[in-house]
Amino acid sequence: MTLLEGRDLAAGIRAEAAELAAGGPPPVLAAVVATDDPATAWYLGSIAKAAASVGIAFREERLPDGDNDAVLARLDALSRDPAVDAIICMTPLPAGLSLAEAGEHIAPEKDVDGASPTSLGRLAAGRPAFAPATAQAVVELLHHSGTALSGARAVIVGRSTVVGKPLAMLLLRDDATVTVCHSRTRDLAGETSRADILVAAAGSAHLIGSGHVKPGAVVIDVGTNETASGEMVGDVDTAAVEAVASAVTPVPGGVGPVTTAVLLRNVVTAAASTP
């Protein structure tokens, strides 16, 4: 059993981004934040730190919680601002504002976390677009681990707009046969235990146990769930699955660091393609 750690891959992607960024003025990433959520603050801090290490200028655009129009107006303004190369919109958003609706106000060429429906549609249509960094990170980890995707049976648990659906599009592009399961799936273990590649992105702590995994499968855990004791655990019961799978990503230290690195590489790419 291989533990598919993300740190080395993430370091490689960050180095690639830093090299790309080195030639010109620092790429500028703006993050729109309308929440006091501590998990968001922690994530923002880690992005800011990683951005600095790669040579990206990070701007936090803080807005009052509860003011949806202010969020949309700020996204519009940043989309027009020639000094800004890349935009991310942090969640949770104020009540009544979905990330997809907010994403409509992010210019696709600056949409480095694939929040815009236009980005998602372009991805699905095989047109150039930024994928959500988490979905892209899953694919990068699979490529990095040497997992064959063409003709493989991939099962995704979770149909979210930020992970499940764009990941389905990415895996189809790589010629996998793709199944998307979710809370209404009747026989979840029956579906997942057919998977050569199993991606858990349901947001449900330890949903996936040994009975869900085909012997030899590659298991990617996108979940980040906080337990009552404050511990962060994935959607996969890694200890149980290790005996069955050929490879599993840990949580933390698997998909997470790769996601941040992919996001930064997207920022540098966005800056490089600005006229």
Q: Is 72 in the site for its own copies (CB under 8 A)?
A: no
Instruction: Measure the CA–CA gap between 160 and 138, rounded to whole angstroms.
Output: 14
Of 19-27, 35-43, 81-89, 159-167, the segment contacting its own copies by CB under 8 A is: 159-167
Our CB check for its own copies shows the closer of 14 and 110 to be 110
Q: How far is the CB of 128 from its own copies (least distance, A)?
A: 10
Q: Is 122 in the site for its own copies (CB under 8 A)?
A: yes
Site string for its own copies, 1-20 (x = CB under 8 A): --------------------
Of 13-21, 25-33, 167-175, 227-235, the segment contacting its own copies by CB under 8 A is: 167-175
Q: Is 226 in the site for its own copies (CB under 8 A)?
A: no
Task: Out of 72, 104, 209, 250, name the contact with its own copies by CB under 8 A.
Answer: 104
Q: How far is the CB of 53 from its own copies (least distance, A)?
A: 32
Q: How far is the CB of 188 from its own copies (least distance, A)?
A: 9
Q: Cα–chain-centroid distance for residue 36?
A: 21
Q: How far is the CB of 206 from its own copies (least distance, A)?
A: 21
Residues that bind its own copies (CB under 8 A): 98, 100-101, 103-104, 116-127, 129, 150-151, 153, 159, 161, 165-166, 168-169, 172, 175-182, 184-186, 191
